Amino acid sequence: DAKTTQPPSMDCAEGRAANLPCNHSTISGNEYVYWYRQIHSQGPQYIIHGLKNNETNEMASLIITEDRKSSTLILPHATLRDTAVYYCIVRVRGKLIFGQGTELSVKP
């Protein structure tokens, strides 16, 4: 199964863009990349997903490299409420296989 690799932690200044990287070098052609986040002890919250093209919604943008081996989640204007663990996931045959995630701390 495709696996993801993320940095364990990152800091970001409030109001600045947060760019969270993810490597998924073994991804297959029909597997989607999903991003979820989890604020302390709550259920994971869906952010965005994509296959090949870049995607944008009201929460974030997802940039996927042309070879699909890596992606970046961009939170354009981070706020303190964006402090959370962010999971990059490759969805395999319907299953979400969570990696270790990146703990993002947004600081004033």
Pairing state between β 102-107 and 9-13 = parallel
Could you give the CA distance from residue 8 to residue 86 in angstroms, rounded to a whole number?
A: 10
Closest CA to 4 of 69, 99, 108: 99
Q: How far apart are CB 87 and other proteins at their closest, in Å?
A: 6
Beta-bridge mates of residue 97: 90
**Touching other proteins, residues 59-88 (CB under 8 A):** 87
Closer to other proteins at the Cβ: 21 or 49? 49
Helix (H, G, I), strand (E, B) or coil at 47: strand
Binds other proteins by CB under 8 A, chosen from 15, 79, 100, 107: 100
Q: How far apart are CB 35 and other proteins at their closest, in Å?
A: 11
**Touching other proteins, residues 31-50 (CB under 8 A):** 31-32, 36, 41-46, 49
Neighbours of 68 (CB within 10 A): 18
Q: How far apart are CB 64 and other proteins at their closest, in Å?
A: 14
Helix (H, G, I), strand (E, B) or coil at 77: coil
Number of residues that bind other proteins (CB under 8 A): 24
Q: Which residues bind other proteins (CB under 8 A)?
A: 30-32, 36, 41-46, 49, 51, 87, 91-101
